[in-house]
Amino acid sequence: MTSTLLIVQIVLAIAITISVLLQKSSSIGLGAYSGSNESVFGAKGPTGFLAKATFTLAFAFIVNTLVLGYLYTESNSASVTDSLVPANNAAVPSVPTTTQSTTPTAPAAPSAN
């Protein structure tokens, strides 16, 4: 699942880059090459379409980033040392339990006889 979302993340990043570079800026830029497509996108040209496409791609990119972060956090919640088994398959010794009380007792009061 995460590998599929990672591939989608890379494709979205490339698509956002392309859609930003195709938009017209104050210094024409790569938007000059999209002049022949004006009839496909309507009377305004590709400006409105590219702006909406960039917003949609950016929104999908952010949602995909959040989902990837959540999935990676969930899969990495356990430590590697939790699943290690000793080489000789010996059990790890535990702290010995004692049934006797090891706390000191107060000395008895002297008798008044």
Helix, coil or strand: residue 2:
helix
Contact 51, 23 (CB under 8 A): yes
Model confidence band, residue 75 (pLDDT cutoffs 50, 70, 90): confident
Can you tell me the distance from the alpha carbon of 66 to that of 56, in angstroms, rounded to the nearest whole number?
Answer: 16
Instruction: Count how many Cα atoms sit within 13 Å of the Cα of residue 55 in the half-sphere of its side chain.
Output: 5
Number of Cβ atoms within 10 Å of the Cβ of 46 = 20
pTM: 0.52
Q: Parse the chain into domains and list their residue ranges.
A: 2-25+35-77
Instruction: For residue range 2-54, list pLDDT tens digits in order.
Output: 889 999 999 999 999 999 888 876 555 455 555 544 445 555 555 678 888 89
